[in-house]
A = this chain, B = another copy of it.
């Protein structure tokens, strides 16, 4: 079958890591699979070919690069990675070719810096695979119809990988990273966090949108639409990581049908704003959100009542939001330094008492809930930043996430 492997920057940044990459390629090839390998730029700020180093270079040289040319520049980071891996494979006698995103058939719109994939033509990749070659593709980049080089934005290599996987109807897309898979919570916050053998597309999307930095949600959505399974696994270990697939497969295969909650995620640095609108004109609530939108301020945790409007913004936007609201003559209370804790589970829908268990756990830990919200697969609570780690730990224990079977 066709396997798409994606290796991130930390998997390519030094010789030892690259040996692990070669090991994964050799293993799958030995099993007879045909491989498309998507690579990110190497390493971190300070290393010469890293994305941030290229951006630092421009910051020191005029700092005035238009978006179009910035993409031209950044595309080099992934090209250098692709060429490097190509050389290493060919030395071992494993025939390999390296392609730009455009050469790999990834067509995008012309939104430089955050282009969207509008189509993938896999014909050329299939030809190379047919010839028995490993096809290395520079991730994070594509090409417009008129030959402009674009980048897909941060996390774009994940998107390259799943888009190619979808176009080629790959058997699996393996996202290699520096963690052992998707965990029930961030292990820096919750030491009992356990790797999840299986999650659904929806669950991992919710985790990613709510602050878990495992895989880009756009990438998951593309895999989900094409029903291509994704695995998030470690470059540096032998574990098979976390399989991301359809919710019904998860329920069927995991043998863990009664799990209402799959994992926890969190985002810090949130400011809660309470706007009294009772005295204002009748369209004041509309005007509040319109003012946020026209000034590019994202809002969350929105709660509209006759008495007023309660919502959150990120701390960095709080100053501007307060200025805008002040200019409208509104009375505002703000509370910065809040954290959003997300309780995620594809199985919570229709399951009674989840919210009750959350409130119970947090109350027992003495943690005030500043606000809450819920969808059919996620419940969010807003707490003070100091309460975030205790809240995660209390919820992890309350839902038995330390008991997740490997």
**Chain A residues at the B interface, C-beta cutoff of 8 Å:** 15, 18, 48-49, 54, 57-58, 61-66, 68-70, 72-73, 75-76, 79-80, 82-84, 86-92, 97-98, 100, 102-103, 147-149
Contact = CB atoms under 8 A, between A and B. Distances in A.
B149 A100 contact: yes
A61 B54 CA distance: 21
A61 B84 CA distance: 6
Given A48-B48, A49-B48, A54-B80, A72 B87 contact: no
Contact of A84 (B57, B87, B88, B100): B57
Contacts of A102: 147
A61 B88 contact: yes
B86 A65 contact: yes
Contacts of A147: 102-103
Nearest to A60: B15
A264 to B, nearest CB: 40
A223 to B, nearest CB: 27
A58 B84 contact: yes
Contact of A91 (B62, B92, B103): B62
A124 to B, nearest CB: 9
Which of A15, A57, A70, A86 counts the most chain B CB atoms within 10 A?
A: A86
A69 B83 contact: yes
Nearest to A149: B100
- Provide the main secondary structure of the chain A interface: helix
A68 B99 CA distance: 10
Given A48-B49, A65-B87, A76-B80, 20 more contacts: A15-B61, A54-B80, A57-B84, A58-B87, A61-B88, A62-B87, A62-B92, A64-B87, A64-B88, A64-B90, A65-B83, A65-B90, A66-B86, A66-B90, A69-B86, A69-B98, A72-B79, A72-B82, A73-B80, A103-B148
Contacts of A91: 62-64
16 contacts: A15-B61, A54-B80, A58-B87, A62-B88, A62-B91, A64-B88, A65-B86, A68-B97, A69-B83, A69-B86, A69-B97, A73-B79, A73-B80, A73-B83, A75-B79, A76-B80
A68 to B, nearest CB: 7
A72 B48 contact: no
A103 B102 CA distance: 13
Contacts of A80: 54, 57, 73, 76
A67 to B, nearest CB: 11
Contacts of A69: 82-83, 86-87, 97-98
Nearest to A98: B69
Contact of A87 (B48, B61, B89, B90): B61
A153 B80 CA distance: 19
A27 to B, nearest CB: 19
A104 to B, nearest CB: 11
A60 to B, nearest CB: 9
A30 B83 CA distance: 42
Contacts of A66: 86, 90, 97
Contacts of A49: 48
A49 B57 CA distance: 11
Which of A15, A18, A58, A82 counts the most chain B CB atoms within 10 A?
A: A58
Nearest to A102: B147
A92 B18 CA distance: 42
Contact of A89 (B62, B90, B97, B149): B62
Given A18-B61, A48-B48, A54-B80, A100 B72 contact: yes
A68 B98 CA distance: 9
A15 to B, nearest CB: 8
